[in-house]
Amino acid sequence: AQSVTQLDSHVSVSEGTPVLLRCNYSSSYSPSLFWYVQHPNKGLQLLLKYTSAATLVKGINGFEAEFKKSETSFHLTKPSAHMSDAAEYFCVVSAGTGGYNKLIFGAGTRLAVHP
Amino acid sequence: ETGVTQTPRHLVMGMTNKKSLKCEQHLGHNAMYWYKQSAKKPLELMFVYSLEERVENNSVPSRFSPECPNSSHLFLHLHTLQPEDSALYLCASSQEWGAGSPLHFGNGTRLTVT
């Protein structure tokens, strides 16, 4: 069975400091992994995806994530936070079974960025 | 600008009302989805359509009735809802019907059941 755990429900950083949002996954198959972001009153937007190519994945807005199979982790990072990064972030694993695109969403991490 | 458009953005309805949510995708995708997002809960998949055929009904109560008349449009018909059905309802689409295909979401409909 597939599952995903976001280790922090809230993260608070100062503008200009690094961001680390942690995600661990469990999958019986070679997983596809995603990070999505949701700004207030908006839908979810894809930040980046991992699909068994390079283990370091670069996304939009300066975010990147590293797939570590030995640690079953897919943490999201950004070198320098911007005020506009304040949002909720979701780590997602693709179940990869049944022929359809069933995604398992984490509970989300709310990122606050302070001046 | 999102390629997935949902209307209305906000909806307040009584428990005896009938209403419909509409979703339209302009991306040429083959699969469409309804998700429910409640406070303090992970996103819940409700329905999946691929090429206008329903391929997933995730144990959703019958008071929610989806309709997919073509690959660009998806509806969610609502009747006799309960207050616990109040949530953000998100529509999404994807290019491929299979694992690894990312979803494109609309901005959602905020539903309040009184």
Stated length of chain A: 115
What is the pLDDT confidence band of residue A1, given thresholds at 50, 70 and 90? Answer: confident
The per-residue pLDDT of chain A, averaged, comes to 91
Q: Is A2 exposed, middle or buried (0-12, 13-18, 19+ CB in 10 A)?
A: middle
Residue-by-residue DSSP string for chain A = --EEEES-SEEEEETTS-EEE-EEEE-SS--EEEEEEE-TTS-EEEEEEESSS-SEEE-GGG-EEEEETTTTEEEEEESS--GGG-EEEEEEEE---TTS--EEEP--EEEEEE-
Give the integer Cα–Cα distance in Å for A34 and A14: 25
> What is the identity of the amino acid at A30?
S
Question: Least CA distance to A53: which residue of chain B?
Answer: B100
Radius of gyration, alpha carbons of chain A: 14
Q: Would you call B104 and A102 a contact, using CB atoms and an 8 Å cutoff?
A: no
Which residue among B42, B45, B96 places its CB closest to the CB of A107? B42
Q: Would you call B48 and A44 a contact, using CB atoms and an 8 Å cutoff?
A: no
Q: Which of A30, A32, A100 would you mutate first to test chain B, the one with the most B CBs within 10 A?
A: A100
What is the pLDDT confidence band of residue A100, given thresholds at 50, 70 and 90? Answer: low
What is the pLDDT confidence band of residue B101, given thresholds at 50, 70 and 90? Answer: confident
B51 interfaces chain A, CB cutoff of 8 Å: no
Q: Would you call B108 and A95 a contact, using CB atoms and an 8 Å cutoff?
A: no
The per-residue pLDDT of chain B, averaged, comes to 90
B47 interfaces chain A, CB cutoff of 8 Å: no
Q: Would you call B48 and A101 a contact, using CB atoms and an 8 Å cutoff?
A: yes
> What is the rounded average pLDDT of the residues B68-85?
94
Instruction: Give the pLDDT confidence of A39-88 residue by residue, as tens digits.
Output: 988 899 999 999 877 889 999 999 999 999 999 999 999 999 999 999 99
Q: Would you call A49 and B4 a contact, using CB atoms and an 8 Å cutoff?
A: no
Q: Would you call B107 and A41 a contact, using CB atoms and an 8 Å cutoff?
A: yes
B42 interfaces chain A, CB cutoff of 8 Å: yes
B13 interfaces chain A, CB cutoff of 8 Å: no
Q: Does residue B1 surpass a pLDDT of 70?
A: no
